[in-house]
Amino acid sequence: MARNKVQRTPAETLFKKELKALSKVDDGPKPANWNLSPASVVDYIMGTELEDGTKISPKYIGNRSLIELAVATLTTERALLLSGIPGTAKTWVSEHLAAAISGTSRLLVQGTAGTHEDKLLYAWNYPILLAKGPVREALVPSPVMRAMEAGKIIRIEEMTRMPFEIQDALITILSERSLPIPELNEEVFAAEGFNLIATANDKDKGIHEMSGALKRRFNNVILPLPESIEEELKIVTNRLSPKLLKASGKKPNKQSLEEIKKVITIFKELREGKTVDGQTALKKVTSTLSTAEIISVVDNALAMGTYFDDGTIKPRFLASGLEGAIVKNKDSDMNPWKEYIEIVLKKREDWSDFYKQLSKTKKTEE
């Protein structure tokens, strides 16, 4: 029986050829236990072309100096905090940094309201514990402990989803670079190369403020929203589902790209509370209108075009997913959205397909 393909391939596997190509030509100084030099890690993230013609695809489209700062932080004994509103590629950058530096992005703790301290420290195998007492054999190391022992990068996603008393379990690890195990009268010391990348956002509900003591042990790099429509278009097209693109057999054509730019324009205007020409003030919606939401809208349109049409991204497919992406809270978001349709979209030339589709949705709800 053929082995099923996985839905999501880790970065170190998906971009194995690129990492290998960079490693072959990398003659820069490498910190202990790093697979690539800091300069090559930045090239891997930002994209470049090697002398032999090998193209390294960009993983992050934005300010190179932010990535340089992030990589430089990881060469020190300060941890890295990637922060910003949801959808600014924090997780994506975190994964690729770990893949390039440590060769694995799978040393990971997912922060939630239910994350227990043992996910950051260690747990016990209770049958062995009951039979033999607190011995090393009964210890179940956390991903953090395994990263410390191996000298690798540990990723903690959504740090501020965890209660602050759980977050603070990291303070000793980040300060002393060690993890005490009182039950064994031992401690684990971090090997060279160990460091921590955390991601956090300050927009969603349900977040927990990090303590001052913990914050002081991080360098905070804020990943912003894209500055221009063209920059955001590059990000969106770079992150479209490879599976859907393969199924459609087509890359977005010029007309499709123009329609995607319209979606980006809508998000940008509703984020900023004004039209791109600055002539009309708009009510803002309370939802986070991130690039990730745009990618979701475009992927949905690509899926509809692939499986129900001729494989191209069309305005009606894009428009059909807009309201669900923009209106997260009907009480606060619906009226600004309806006004935007009538005040802005209705009056724009070449936007009739969008307006007709969105008007149908509005009439159905009414």
- CATH code at 61? 3.40.50.300
Summarize pLDDT for 12-56 with one digit per residue, the tens: 999 999 999 999 999 999 999 999 999 999 999 999 999 999 999
- Note whether residue 4 is domain-resident: no
Give the bridge partners for 81, in sequence order. 198, 220
Query: What is the b/e burial string over 245-255, where b = at least 16 CB atoms within 10 angstroms of the residue's CB?
Result: beebebebeee
The band of 166, judged by pLDDT with boundaries at 50, 70 and 90, is very high
Instruction: Please give the pLDDT value at position 359.
Output: 80
* φ/ψ (deg, to 5) at 241: -60, 115
Q: What is the reported pLDDT for 362?
A: 53
Decide: 44 and 59 in contact? Cβ < 8 Å. Answer: yes
Domain check: are 307 and 327 in the same one?
yes
List CB contacts of 48: < 8 A, sequence separation 6 or more.
55, 56
* Amino acid residing at 137: E
Q: What is the CA radius of gyration of the chain?
A: 24
Residue 217 has a CB neighbour count (10 Å cut-off) of: 17
Tokens, residue 203: 């927009």
| Average pLDDT value over all residues in the chain | 92
User: What is the domain range of residue 276?
Assistant: 229-365
Query: pTM of whole model > 0.95?
Result: no
Report residue 247's pLDDT band, with 50, 70 and 90 as the boundaries.
Answer: confident
**3 in any annotated domain:** no
Q: What is the per-residue pLDDT for 120?
A: 95
Q: Does residue 5 fall inside a structural domain?
A: no
The rounded percent of the chain whose pLDDT value lies above 90 is 77
Q: In total, how many domains does the chain have?
A: 2
How are beta strands 122-124 and 139-141 bridged, if at all? antiparallel
What's the whole-number mean pLDDT along residues 197-225?
88
pLDDT in tens, 83-92: 998 889 999 9
pLDDT at 172 over 80: yes
Q: In this structure, what are the phi and psi dihedrals at residue 181, rounded to the nearest 5 degrees?
A: -125, 85
